[in-house]
A = this chain, B = another copy of it.
Amino acid sequence: MGKYYFGIDVGGTFIKFGLFDQTGVLLEKWMIPTRLDKKGECILSDLSEAMGNKMRDRGLDGSQMAGIGIGAPGQVDKEGKVLAAENLGWDQVSLAPILEDRMGIPVKAGNDANLAALGEAWKGAGCRDMVLVTVGTGIGCGVVLAGKIHTGMHGAAGELGHIHVEDRLKKKCACGKSGCLEQVASAKGIELCAKYILEESQEPSMLRGQDLSVKKVFDAAKQSDRLAIRTVECFGDYLGKALAMCTCVLDPERIVIGGGVSKAGDIILEYVQKYYRKYAFPACENVQFGLAKLGNDAGVYGAVRMFIEETP
């Protein structure tokens, strides 16, 4: 049996690759741009070529490769077929079967957010029951139970961004409903919240008179700007409440927060935990909280872990 694995994370801008040994050590990582023209039909040949080149560079043949794990931004079924990945221009693409055929190496495919959660559980937090929530442009989430991804009946498990948290918001979310967590606690949601708070108050704030951004909000809050702090409290209340609901259902070992917004650092944990504890079922009040550790590498780690975990 082969000794090496490729882990791949296909994103809308870059395709990230990792070469791993059989103990799960990342030997080398690199990336190539994602070519989105022609409905993303170059992606599969670009993937194969990149892996082929790496194998030649390292003098590896197919028999030394144990497998390929790959993540894509969309719904992926149990056969490794992508059912839809709008960001890549893909409708249905038989991702795993086609790659397996071209490379002559076993391939398993999964959803990228789920694989990021699995990667963080494996090499970031080192635990087997974990929820990863990524707060960026949107709010994504992956659920890992007993060391495996929990996908749910329709691949919709961990759609934490679409938990209903705000009755007063009538504007529609991208999902078609309204009052979703993603509308109020994503990067856009935080900016919107800051805008309202600034408009409603006469207080001075270092956020006034400039373009708002999440970074500016958190930086101002760290400098004790009162309206910025009020915005962060609001974010903490929404996300903390949603995570408390989530632990009432799952009771995980650990909650990890990642995504662009988590770059603000410990202030995120401070405010989310404050409100989490307010709403949480007492037995789950002291669940471990942490920030994601693997950054952009989480997906390639998770892809390899999925391959190892699902191979008998």
The answer to whether A284 touches B163 (Cβ under 8 A) is: no
Q: Which of A55-107 contact B (CB under 8 A)?
A: none
The residues of A with any CB-CB pair to B shorter than 8 Å are 129, 143, 145, 150-160, 162-164, 175-177, 241, 244-253, 278-284, 287
The answer to whether B176 touches A252 (Cβ under 8 A) is: no
Sample 22 A-B pairs with CB under 8 A, ordered by A number: A143-B249, A145-B150, A152-B284, A153-B252, A153-B253, A155-B283, A156-B247, A157-B249, A158-B248, A159-B248, A159-B249, A159-B283, A159-B284, A160-B248, A163-B244, A163-B248, A163-B249, A175-B282, A176-B282, A177-B278, A177-B282, A245-B249
The answer to whether B279 touches A248 (Cβ under 8 A) is: no
Residues of B within 8 Å of A163, CB to CB, are 244-245, 248-249
Known contacts A177-B282, A282-B176: does B160 contact A251 (CB below 8 Å)? no
Residues of B within 8 Å of A247, CB to CB, are 156
Known contacts A175-B282, A281-B159: does B249 contact A246 (CB below 8 Å)? yes
Give 10 nearest A-B pairs by CB, closest first: A152-B251, A157-B251, A156-B283, A156-B251, A154-B283, A162-B281, A164-B279, A159-B248, A159-B281, A153-B253
Bound-complex Cα distance A143 to B145 (A) = 13
